[in-house]
Structure 1
Amino acid sequence: MITASRSDIGRIRQINEDRHWAGTLENGATLAIVADGMGGHQAGDVASQIAVNTFRDRMEKSAAKAGLTVEEGKMLIRQAIVGANDVVYDMASRNEQYYNMGTTIVAALLLDERAIIGHIGDSRVYQIAENGIVQLTEDHTLVNELVKSGQVSAEEAAHHPRRNVITRAVGTDAQVTVDILTTDLAAGDVLLLCSDGLTNMVSDEQLLRTVQEDGPKLSDKAEHLIQLALHAGGDDNITVVLIQADNNVTTEGVTTDDRT
């Protein structure tokens, strides 16, 4: 696997509340996570950092064994995200300055040709293949609930004044439900993990065109996506992680660029 990641504060925000990580476990599996903190003065950046650190630590300890199965991977991702929720919620409960802080989480564990994805909130995973782009995750947002109930159309949802109100987050409640899904990967397929600072600014068509462009390295494509979001206004923090499946199950070219 080849991975590349970028994060940018954007043009409006004073703090980058996004956090991310991508790397390789001891068993050769690729692991990536994006967390978009919320709370502003209520320490969204603290929530997202705690969530990433907790998730990564638990997965590095539990998911690095040889011969890890998909079912085991699904269980471990769920447990790691629930564990992150426990730590963030406990911190928020015990410290007044962190009251009601929270974060989204989207994470991917790649085992050979299978990807296991866990998520809470409105950070997304897309799969980009030769035949197009598919959003794998479902946003946990008020507007998405309105779309599913037929109260608003998908077109109306894109510009709805409450489109950023999320219905599920890490750290805001003692108990949390984690969505888990799997997908098959062919050589050349790309997984895109991102915060809504990208998807609120850049269309699916632009995502597809940028990732499928011949020539640029994966890290250059990640940077191009950041620049597209900035050019469109950069209203929020923007974080991108790209993971490309190749014939050799190795990880190279891991890059980070946190501009805060």
Structure 2
Amino acid sequence: MHLVSRTDIGNIRLVNEDRAVVRHVPGGWSVAVVADGMGGQQAGDVASQMAVDIIQRELQRLSPELAADDCAEELRRAIEVANENIYEFALGRENYHGMGTTVVSAVANGQTAIIGHIGDSRAYLISDAGMEQLTEDHSLVNELVKNGHITPEEAAHHPRRNVIIRALGTDPTVEVDLRLVPWKAGNLLLLCSDGLHGLVDDDSILEVVRGEPDLDRMALRLIHSALDAGGDDNVTVVLIKNGAEGGDRG
């Protein structure tokens, strides 16, 4: 499993509130987490840093004998622990009230990828068949699209497209969306914040992926695609390739 993580502050923001981590953990599992923080002052980057730290810590004890369904429950529990910790941290500190973060996390071995997410950071599966979005945005505009009030094309330019309706750390409990995905050698998982998918459409993302075999350069090209499209947000990209040679690159 080859893991690559890249982030950029973007062209406009003064602080990078995105955080990401990629790790191989005992038991043959690989873990990746992307979090996009929100909140005033330094609250957003505190929330996102806490999320990636806690989730990767909680997943260190995955065992090789663990079935995929049980691993999914461990991922759910790790995200819930992160939610409790962030919420309690903010509750006791006036400057951090209301802070939160999106999160999208993957736990994968050679046969199965398990995705857990809250918010509008996304996971995609990329294979010979194309690119499939594995997560559903917990956002206002996505609800408007689902209810038929606006079109997907209108959603891309909606003035409230950044409004999140479910986040990590803003409430004492949270519902985690989980998805188990079979995947094959050579398949690729892309995890990203909305700094990428909000500016670069799926066809353009797929064009970069298919045009660049090297994962490090692929991640950088995806970052630069967002910057070239305006770069008005922090942008973070994590790539996980099934069966590739190499180690972690953060």
- 1:29 alignment counterpart: 29
Aligned-partner Cα distance in 2 for 1:56–1:82: 13
Match of 1:170 among 150, 168, 181: 168
- 1:252 alignment counterpart: 246
Please state if 1:223 is matched with 2:223.
Answer: no
2:40, 2:96 within 8 Å by CA — same for their partners in 1?
A: no
TM-score w.r.t. the length of structure 2 is 0.97
Aligned-partner Cα distance in 2 for 1:66–1:5: 24
Aligned-partner Cα distance in 1 for 2:147–2:52: 33
1:226, 1:239 within 8 Å by CA — same for their partners in 2?
A: yes
1:217 positional shift? 1.1
Aligned CA-pair RMSD: 1.1
CA deviations on 1:131-185 (whole Å, 9 max, x unpaired) are 1111110000011001111111111111111111000000000110000001111
Aligned-partner Cα distance in 2 for 1:68–1:219: 31
- 1:156 alignment counterpart: 154
CA deviations on 1:32-88 (whole Å, 9 max, x unpaired) are 000000013251000000111111111113x2x121110111100000000000000
- The letter for the 2-side match of 1:34 is V
Aligned-partner Cα distance in 2 for 1:106–1:149: 24
- The letter for the 2-side match of 1:202 is V
1:253 positional shift? 3.5
CA deviations on 1:201-232 (whole Å, 9 max, x unpaired) are 11101111111125x41011000000110111
Aligned-partner Cα distance in 2 for 1:73–1:27: 11
Aligned-partner Cα distance in 1 for 2:3–2:53: 19
SS at match of 1:151: coil
> Which sections of structure 2, spanning at least 5 residues, go unmatched?
none
Aligned-partner Cα distance in 2 for 1:48–1:83: 14
- 1:48 alignment counterpart: 48
Aligned-partner Cα distance in 2 for 1:255–1:219: 8
- 2:5 alignment counterpart: 5
Matched residues, percent identical? 51
1:254 positional shift? 1.9
> How many equivalent pairs are there?
250
SS at match of 2:248: coil
Aligned-partner Cα distance in 2 for 1:148–1:46: 32
Superposition pairs for residues 198-237 of structure 1, below 5 Å? 198-214=196-212, 216-237=213-234
Aligned-partner Cα distance in 1 for 2:42–2:11: 21
TM-score w.r.t. the length of structure 1 is 0.94
SS at match of 1:156: helix
Aligned-partner Cα distance in 1 for 2:40–2:225: 24
Structure 1 runs of 4+ off > 4 angstroms?
A: none
- The letter for the 1-side match of 2:233 is D
Aligned-partner Cα distance in 2 for 1:8–1:23: 20
Aligned-partner Cα distance in 1 for 2:227–2:64: 41
Superposition pairs for residues 103-142 of structure 1, below 5 Å? 103-142=101-140
- The letter for the 1-side match of 2:237 is V
1:32, 1:109 within 8 Å by CA — same for their partners in 2?
A: yes
Match of 1:92 among 76, 87, 90: 90
> Which sections of structure 1, spanning at least 5 residues, go unmatched?
none
Aligned-partner Cα distance in 1 for 2:248–2:56: 16
Distance 1:103 1:157, change over 3 A: same
- The letter for the 2-side match of 1:194 is C
- The letter for the 1-side match of 2:208 is T
- 1:143 alignment counterpart: 141
1:252 positional shift? 2.3
